[in-house]
Amino acid sequence: MADREERIRALIAEMSLEEKVSQLSWTSPAVERLGIPEYNWWNEALHGVARAGLATVFPQAIGLGAAFDEGLAREVADAIADEARAKYNEAVKRGNRGQYYGLTFWTPNINIFRDPRWGRGQETYGEDPYLTGRIGLAFMKGLQGDDGEHLKTAACAKHYAVHSGPEKLRHVFDAVVSPKDLWETYLPAFKVLVDNGVEAVMGAYNRTLGEPCCGSTFLLEDVLRGKWGFSGHVVSDCWAIRDFHENHKVTESPEESAALALNAGCDLNCGCTYPMLTVARKKGLVSEEAIDRALTRLLRTRFKLGILGEQAGPEKPGSGKWDNLGREVINCEKHRKLALKAAEKSIVLLKNSGGLLPLDDSAKKILVLGPSAANAHVMLGNYHGMSVRIVTLLEGLTGKMRDRFAIQIEYRLGCLPYQPNDPSNRFVGEMVGGGKYDVVIACFGLDSAIEGEEGDTIASTSNGDRDTIELPPWQLAYLRNLRQSAKKVILVLTSGSPVAVPPDLADSILYSWYPGERGGEAVANIIFGDAVPSGKLPITVPEKTEDLPPYEDYAMKGRTYRYMEKKPLYPFGFGLSYTTFRFDNITLSGGTIMRGGTVKAVVRVTNTGTIDAEEVVQVYISKDKREADDPAASLRAFKRAAIAAGKQASIEFTLNAADFESVNQAGESALVPGVYTVTAADAAPLPVSVERGAAEPVSAKITAVNDE
């Protein structure tokens, strides 16, 4: 808008150097003489408005990835944005412009979950670039709203780029990757969000290809603003610019670090270094034009949000599009119901031997045990808000007894979740004989005290990362002992990452992730058949830690379903249902594809069971004569389909020529002539044999031709 840009230029023209620099830090003070209010840029909304009291707590991001549902992700983010606006409106009325009450959210995290040991993988949507891009885009749109000129809230794609641990090395590490891996795996999700108008991008702590990400000419100038045409603002991760001179050792002073970041295109500093820009300017390390450029981008965001002048804002409610949102929407019943629906759709059924689930009334005596059962912490994950009612697994299961007076339910802790002061990891627990119970519901796994971000994980010995992907050994020992005496065992796993659990430990296995404030109710609904499981793994579960490449190696060889060489425990996209589906066939609208073209794929799916349910139909593309370092297959489309028992549905997809393109060693993408296989399946097709869902995949051939 021309008027907006004129007003920004006029404001900047009136500001002193010191005033300009003050606005480039996350705690931006008021410039009262110009009518610029104080603003704190730091806010979080990974799966609900975080760190500011009451808010609806939705399933952790990895759970939203497991739902494979773009519409759900957008609905969740829209609810979060409503609550954020309401909090902002109420806070400003009371003169509170402090941290965690602003409208700029440093989410979503669209890094690729390349290694299951990364503690922050729970913040992502999984290991696949396509899934990450689609769910991330839907979440971004929900946060930012559908007004082309104004923002409901501002979303931020992070951490740009090539960032996924190790946590203990993130302030010193250089992520060295090939051009092929960079453009084929690490950058695509960022490009999707940038192409669709994400307002902000956050740089990562680490270096990539030798340059610190928040001061990388290649990442910020050449790719982000040059190749992709990004017009929003860039923010540093918190205190990342200080790392330039203290840890990465690429500069010698704070003013040099500030200059390096600003000149590369980082506009906003979360940290303490940008105040030194006044010194950098006096030394000739930065120009005032560079400062003005960064400030222009930041003021533009504030105008779009209505924080500056263009809309009335909460001081004069009524004329701004979202100014009338008030406290009544915060953790309202509508949002709580949405949290329940999201949790139900995120839960993945990994095993259901003999059709044990859903439980019926023949299970008269039920024992609930385990360190996750009564643990509210496992509902939350990291970067969470707080709800007035967090339903634990035990509470959710007990709630099902309200009208079941013929069923007896008991609870035991069993063993501890972790043993931070016990380096021997010896078995500790109260062994409970399971033989007298019809069913034992064993609630085990991890929580965000043992996996998460550096500094937040008080029980971790690896700065929030995991040394192994197996269950903690004392939990594993307990479950093995329990299995010897129990008649039937249902294992409910809590985790934000892949946990290699031997399938023989239980008759049925549910992956609940960190399912949010109504997670316990969602799990209980699945177990007792009031909801049907439909979640799919957004990550591959390897069989054992030894199958993984070295953690510090960022090469994709041997990682994720696209490049793996070892047989996994469960493949990407895997998840069972209480019914069975049959993929009848897949038909393509044409036999060839050329640059700029499209082809329609129609998949016919039948619900062959007796229960109405949803299936996630996944479409993968693979090159028949692929190079050794090409992906075995790549997800290129997915849809949730509700199909009644005994009914059939035709699911239509549109595939673009770009979906068939390959990235070469130089990082260039091209449509390579040849034959390709388009596969519709309920899990990723792998080059090794592995247990799948009930449906056999179907495929069709298509030939890519060179039209030049």
How does DSSP assign 267-336, residue by residue? -BBSSS-GGGHHHHHHTTSS-HHHHHHHHHHHHHHHHHHTSSSSS--TTSTTSSTTTT--GGGTT-HHHH
- pLDDT band of residue 297 (cuts 50, 70, 90) is very high
- CA-CA distance, 439 to 488, in Å (whole number)? 5
Residues whose CB is less than 8 angstroms from the CB of residue 612 and which lie 6 or more positions away in sequence, other chains included: 532, 579, 642, 643, 644, 645
What is the β-pairing status of strands 669-670 and 662-663?
antiparallel
What class, spelled out in words, does domain 581-704 have in CATH? Answer: mainly beta
Classify strands 408-412 and 439-445 as parallel, antiparallel or unpaired: unpaired
Q: What is the mean pLDDT of residues 351-380?
A: 95
Overall average pLDDT of the 351-378 stretch: 95
DSSP symbols for 168-187: GGTTT-EE---HHHIIIIIS
- Report yes or no: 446 and 494 within 8 Å, Cβ to Cβ: yes
User: Edge-to-edge strand order for the sheet containing 200-203?
Assistant: 156-160, 200-203, 233-235
Looking at the predicted structure, is the pLDDT value of residue 336 above 90? yes
pTM of the shown model: 0.96
Q: Model confidence at 407, in pLDDT bands (50, 70, 90)?
A: confident
What is the Cα–Cα distance from 102 to 308, expressed in whole angstroms?
13
Instruction: Lowest mean pLDDT of 156-170, 210-224, 604-618, 677-691, name the range.
Output: 677-691
pLDDT tens, residue by residue, 618-635: 999 999 999 999 999 999
What letter would DSSP give residue 647? -
Can you give the pLDDT at residue 405? 76
Name the CATH superfamily for 2-325: Glycoside hydrolase, family 3, N-terminal domain (3.20.20.300)
Cα separation, 689 vs 708, in Å, equals: 39
Q: Which of 617-626, 672-681, 683-692 has the weakest average pLDDT?
A: 683-692
Q: For residue 364, is pLDDT > 60?
A: yes
Has residue 485 got a pLDDT over 80? yes
Nearest-angstrom CA–CA distance, 692 and 649: 21
Res 314: pLDDT: 43
Please count the residues of the chain.
Answer: 708
Nearest to 240 by CA among 343, 331, 170: 170
Return the structure tokens found at 140.
């971004």
The pLDDT tens digits for 68-80 are 999 999 999 999 9
Provide mean pLDDT across the span 248-264: 98
Residue 403: its pLDDT value, please?
Answer: 80
pLDDT above 50 for 264: yes
Phi, psi of 587 (to 5 degrees): -125, 140
Per residue in 349-363, pLDDT tens? 999 999 999 999 889
At 429 the pLDDT is: 58
Among 69, 78, 127, 237, the active-site one is 237
Query: Between these two residues, 459 and 41, which has the higher pLDDT value?
Result: 41
Q: Is the pLDDT of residue 423 over 60?
A: no
State residue 479's pLDDT score.
95
Predicted local confidence at residue 686, as pLDDT: 80
Other beta carbons within 10 Å of 396: 25
- Going from N- to C-terminal start, the domains of the chain cover 2-325, 333-539, 581-704
Distance CA 373, CA 396 (A): 10
Are 386 and 44 in contact by the 8 Å Cβ rule? The answer is no
**pLDDT at residue 316 is higher than 80:** no
Looking at residue 425, its pLDDT comes to: 43
Tell me what pLDDT residue 77 has.
98
Tell me the pLDDT of the chain averaged across its residues. 94
Residue 420: pLDDT over 90 = no
Compute how many other C-beta atoms are within 10 angstroms of the C-beta atom of residue 389: 11
Which segments of 576-621 does DSSP mark as H helices, in order? Answer: none
pLDDT of residue 505 exceeding 60, the answer is yes
Q: How far apart are CA 663 and CA 623, in angstroms?
A: 12
pLDDT at position 673 is 96
What is the residue whose two structure tokens read 């592995």? 690
641 strand-pairing partners: 615
Q: Give residue-wise pLDDT tens across range 36-49.
A: 999 999 999 999 99
Give pLDDT, residue 47: 98
The stretch 187-214 carries a mean pLDDT of: 98
Cα–Cα distance list, 639 to 414, 536, 618, 650, 682 (Å) = 40, 12, 7, 11, 11
pLDDT computed for residue 258 by the predictor: 98
- 274-286 per-position pLDDT tens digit: 999 999 999 999 9
Of 181, 184, 199, 451, the catalytic one is 451
Q: Is 553 annotated in the active site?
A: no
- Looking at residue 361, its pLDDT comes to 85
**Environment class of 217 (CB within 10 Å of its CB; exposed 0-12, middle 13-18, buried 19+):** middle
Please give the structure tokens belonging to residue 498: 């892949």
Q: What is 15-35 written as a DSSP string?
A: --HHHHHHTTBSEE--BGGGT
Give the model's pLDDT for residue 185.
98
422 a catalytic residue: no
Q: What is the DSSP string of 545-583?
A: GGGSPPTT----TT-HHHH--S-EEE-TT--B-SS-EEE
Does residue 549 have a pLDDT over 90? yes
In the numeric block, which tokens belong to residue 628? 């050794």
Q: Is a pLDDT exceeding 50 seen at residue 27?
A: yes
Q: What is the mean pLDDT of residues 395-412?
A: 90
581-588: strand order across its sheet = 581-588, 598-607, 648-656
> Which residues have CB under 8 Å from 271's CB, separation 6+?
25, 26, 236, 238, 239, 240, 241, 242
pLDDT at 452 over 50: yes
- Residue 1: CB atoms within 10 A of its CB come to 11
Which tokens in the block code for residue 524? 């209980």
**Alpha-carbon distances of 430 from 131, 285, 366, rounded to whole Å:** 42, 65, 18
The first and second tokens of residue 48, run together, are 């609900």
The DSSP call for residue 645 is T
CA separation for the pair 587, 48 (Å, rounded): 41
Per DSSP, what are the bridge partners of residue 508?
352, 490
pLDDT at 708: 60
pLDDT at 312 over 50: no
Is domain 333-539 classified as CATH 3.40.50.1700?
yes
H or E stretch covering 648: strand 648-656
For the ranges 303-317, 493-507, 587-601, which has the lowest average pLDDT? 303-317
pLDDT of the residue at 635: 98
Instruction: Inform me whether the pLDDT recorded for 424 exceeds 50.
Output: no
Q: How confident is the model at residue 259 (pLDDT cuts 50, 70, 90)?
A: very high
Integer-rounded Cα Rg, in Å, for the chain is: 26
First-to-final CA distance of the chain: 41
Segment 258-261 long-range contacts (CB within 8 Å, at least 24 positions apart): 258/286, 259/285, 259/286, 260/212, 260/215, 261/214, 261/215, 261/236
Strands (E), 420-468: 439-445
Q: Are 61 and 314 in contact (CB under 8 A)?
A: no
Residue 405: Cβ-neighbour burial (10 angstroms; 0-12, 13-18, 19+): exposed
Report percent pLDDT > 70 for the chain.
Answer: 95
What was the pLDDT predicted at 417? 83
Does the structure show a pLDDT above 60 at 421? no
Share of the chain above pLDDT 90, in %: 89
